[in-house]
Chains A and B, each alone.
Chain A
Amino acid sequence: MRLVITNARVIDPTQKLDQVTNLYIARGRIAGTGNEAPEGFTPDQEIDGTGKWILPGLIDLQARLGEPGSHYAGSIASETQAAVAGGITSICCPPDTSPVNDSQAVTELLQRRARQAATAFVMPIGALTQALKGERLSGIYSLKQAGCVALSQANNPIQNSLTLKNALEYTVSHDMVVMLRSENKQLKNDGVAHSGPVSTRLGLPEISPSAETTALARDLILVEEAGIRAHFSQLSCARSIEMIAEAKKRGLPVTCDVAIHQLHLTEMDVLGFNSLFHVSPPFRSMQDKQALLMGLKTGVIDAVVSDHTPLEKDDKLLPFGESIPGISGLETLLPLLLKLVQEYDLDLMTAIRSVTESPAKILGLKTGSLEKNQPADLCILDPEGFWTLDPQEMVSEGKNTPFKGWEFVGKVEQTFFQGRPVYRNPNL
C-alpha cells in the first residue's frame, strides 16, 4: 500500500520541518517528504491535503487503558480508539492496573491485547515496587525483558526514603528511565483541594504545595546521588518548576511533564463542588498555572500528557471529596494544546514537540517523527475545524471531562498507525 498526502502543511519538530509539501508512505513507513516523489514511488492512493496539517502521531506518557482490572472504565480496545481520535498513536500505560503491572505476565497481557486491538502502540510502564506498595522491588530485569519502557509508582509514590534510594540505585544498571510522581502522603493527609482561598471558602481538606515540593526535593537529591535518569510526572506547582530548572542547570539528567488540564484550570474551577474537577494533584492557583505555562514555553517542562483516567459515571456521582480523582483526557490533549497556541501565545513547534519529539527522547526512542523510514504514525488535522466538546460523543468509555461545552478550533480528521487508517472523523 502506497499513499501520498499532497500539498499539506507538514510539521515535524525532529526535522525542524514546517512547510507545505507532500508526504509519501510505503509499506507502513514514511517514504519521504518533498515535492518530488522518492524514486520508484507510484501511489495507490492519494489524499488531497490542501489546507490541512500533518503531525507526527502523538506520544502520551501517561494514559490509563482500563485493563486489566476494573478500577477504570473502558478497555485497551476502546481507549486506543479514543487515543487515535485525539491524534495519539503511542501510549504509555502506568502500572496501576489490577493486578498491578509488576510482572512479565501482566506486561505481556497488555501487549497481547494491544496487538489484538492494533489501533495504537501501547508501551507498558512497569511497577518499581511489588503491587506498588513501596516495599519490595519488582523484578526489574524481567519487566525490561518483557518490554516495559519505563518504571514508575503511578500515583503511589514511595514514602520510605531508603526504599526509594535502593530502588533508584538498583535500577541504574538496567538503563531504564524511572518516572516519579512527587508527593508526600503525610502532608497530603486527607486533602482533596489546593490550599488557598477556594479551599478556605468551601471547607475542603487542603493539599499545600509543600506536599509536592518537599517530596520533589528529596527525590531530586536521591536521583542525583544514584546518578539515574529520572522523569518527574504531573508537576503542579510553580516552585516545582523552579526546582527542576535548577536541577537541569546543575546538569542532572532529569525531565518532567505536566498534565494538559493543569495548563487550563485552577482552584477557582473547584467552586461549585463539581466532582469532575477533582484531580490529583489538585488544580492550583493562577500563579502556579502561569508558571507551568512559562515552564513549557521555556523548555523546563519537556512533555505534556493527558493523564487519561477513564471513570465510570458512579465514580463521579459522589460528593467532591468522595469522588475518584481524574479526567478522561485522551481526546482533549491535542485540542487543549492547540488552544494554548491560539490563545496563550505558545509557539506551535514547542507545543507539538512536547507531545512528539520530547516524550520519545524521554523514553529513549526514535519515534514521534516523520523522518524517512519511521513508522507512518501520523494525524491529519483541519486547522480551521471548529467543534464543541460533547462528552456523549467521546470515544472513550470514560465521559468524565470538565471541558464539556468548550469550543475548539482544530479537528483531527484522520489518524494513521503504521500506515493504516485507524481513525476517520465521523463528521467528515
Chain B
Amino acid sequence: MSSRLSSPNIQLNELGKLHHFLTLEGLKQHHLVEILDTAESFINPNTNEIKKVPVLRGKSIMNLFFEPSTRTRTTFEIAEKRLSADVSSLDIQTSATKKGESLLDTLWNLQAMQANMFVIRHAQSGAAQFFAQHVAPDVHVLNAGDGQHAHPTQAMLDMFTIRKHKGDIFDLKIAIVGDLLHSRVVRSQIQALSILEAREIRVVGPKTLMPESPEALGVHVYHDMEEGIKGVDVIIMVRLQNERMTSALIPSEKEFFKLYGLTEARLALAKPDAIVMHPGPINRGVEIDSAVADGPQSVILEQVTYGIAVRMAVMSIIMSNAAQLTQYKTEQASLELDENSTLKVNLEEK
C-alpha cells in the first residue's frame, strides 16, 4: 500500500542529486561532502575571503521569511549576491496566511514572477517539505529553518567549521549542549554528524529540554555537563530562549548557567584542543561565559563567515544539478530519436 511506505526522498532528482534542500535526513555522505568541498572552493585560501562568482547570473531567488530572522536571512542574501543571482526578500506575516489557499496562493504568485528558487523559513515543522510538494517541478526549495524540524544549511556550516579545524569528522566526539527539544539546528546537526559517521554524539541538558525519545536520533544523553563534555573534541552550545523560563522548563538563567554554562573550568574537561561553537546569537553569562566565547578555542565568528560559503555551495550545486538533468534529458531524447531513426534505416534496408 503506497500510502504506508515512506515517500521517496523528494529532495533528490532522477539522477539522485539534490533538487531541493529540505533536511539532511535521507542524504548520503557524498551529498554532504560535495557541499563541503564546493564551499571550500568559494573561499580564497590565502585571505579567507569569499569569492564573487557568476554561477547564478540571470537566476531569480526569493527569500520568504514567514518567521523573523536577521542573521540567516542576511547571510543568504549575501551568498545569493556573491553568486550573482537576482535577489528578492519578503517578510510574510503568518497571521495573513492562516488559510491554506492564501498560503499556497502566495507561493504560486511568486512562482509566476519567475522565481527559480525559494529560500523559506516558517514556524511549522514540515513547512519546507510542504512547499516543495507544491512548487513547479523546475523550481527549487531551500529550507532556512522549519519549526523545530530542520535547519540544514546551519548544520552544514557547522560541519564545515569542524572539518576546517579538525579534519575528518568520523574520529571525533562531539557534545551538543542546551535545548534539544525546541531546536531545529540541533536535529540537523545530529543528522549531519551521523551521516558523516562521527564517533560519538552526545547531547547535554535537563530532561525538560529533551524530546521524548532522543535515543531515536542515535545520541548519548547526559544530564550532567561535566560528564557530558569530558574528553570531547567539539562542544556546540545552543542558544537558550527566554520563553523556556516562562513555560517552567527551567527555573532561571542563573541556575541554567550554574548547571550547563560553558566556563573555562568546564572547558578544561574537554580535550585540550577542543573547539567551541555556537550558532548564535549568544547569550553571554547564560549558556556561555564571555571568557570562553572570546577565547582562543572559540570559532563562533568563523562559523558566520563560513555560513556564506556553505549557502553558496548548496545553491550552486542545486542549480548545476538542474542543468545537468536538463542536459541528460536532452541526450536521452536524442538517443531515442537516434535509435528510432536507426531502426527505420534498418527496416528500410531489409
Contacts and interface: CB of A to CB of B under 8 A. Distances in A.
A225 interface: no
Interface stretch (A33-41, A202-210, A248-256, A369-377): A202-210
B129 A200 contact: no
Given A319-B122, A321-B125, A405 B1 contact: yes
B46 interface: no
Contact of B125 (A208, A315, A319): A319
Nearest to A265: B4
A404 interface: yes
Contact of B212 (A200, A405, A406): A200
**Interface majority SS (helix, strand, loop, mixed), chain A:** loop
B44 interface: no
A271 B6 contact: yes
B239 interface: no
B150 interface: yes
Quick one: which of A206, A317, A318 has the most chain B CB within 10 A? A318
Contacts of B3: 402-406
B345 to A, nearest CB: 45
B135 interface: no
Contact of B124 (A199, A269, A317, A322): A322
A426 interface: no
Nearest to B6: A271
A407 B2 CA distance: 11
Contacts of A271: 6
Contacts of A197: 212-213, 216
B245 interface: no
Contacts of B125: 202-205, 273, 319-321
A272 B8 CA distance: 9
A411 interface: no
B187 interface: yes
A318 B103 contact: yes
Interface in B102-151: 103-104, 122, 124-127, 129-130, 146-150
Contact of B149 (A203, A206, A323, A403): A203
A185 to B, nearest CB: 14
A196 B184 CA distance: 17
Interface string A140-156: 00000000000000000
Task: Give the interface size class of chain A.
Answer: 20 to 34
Contacts of B7: 272
Nearest to A271: B6
Contacts of A200: 211-214, 216-217
A400 interface: no
Given A273-B130, A321-B124, A203 B214 contact: no
A202 B6 contact: no
B196 to A, nearest CB: 18
Interface in A388-413: 402-407
A9 interface: no
A201 B124 contact: no
B100 to A, nearest CB: 4
Contacts of A405: 1-3
Nearest to A315: B100
A320 B126 contact: yes
B350 interface: no
B100 A199 contact: no
B86 interface: no
Contact of B126 (A204, A208, A407): A204
A314 interface: yes
Nearest to A312: B100
A181 interface: no
A203 B150 contact: yes
A208 B212 contact: yes
Interface string A42-67: 00000000000000000000000000
A208 B2 CA distance: 29
8 contacts: A196-B212, A200-B216, A204-B149, A317-B103, A319-B125, A405-B1, A406-B3, A407-B1
Interface of A: 195-197, 199-206, 208, 269, 271-273, 314-323, 402-407
Closest A-B pairs by Cβ, 9 of them: A273-B126, A203-B148, A197-B216, A203-B149, A195-B212, A319-B124, A317-B100, A200-B211, A314-B100
Given A196-B212, A318-B100, A405-B2, 11 more contacts: A197-B213, A203-B187, A204-B126, A205-B125, A269-B4, A314-B100, A318-B103, A319-B124, A320-B125, A322-B98, A322-B100
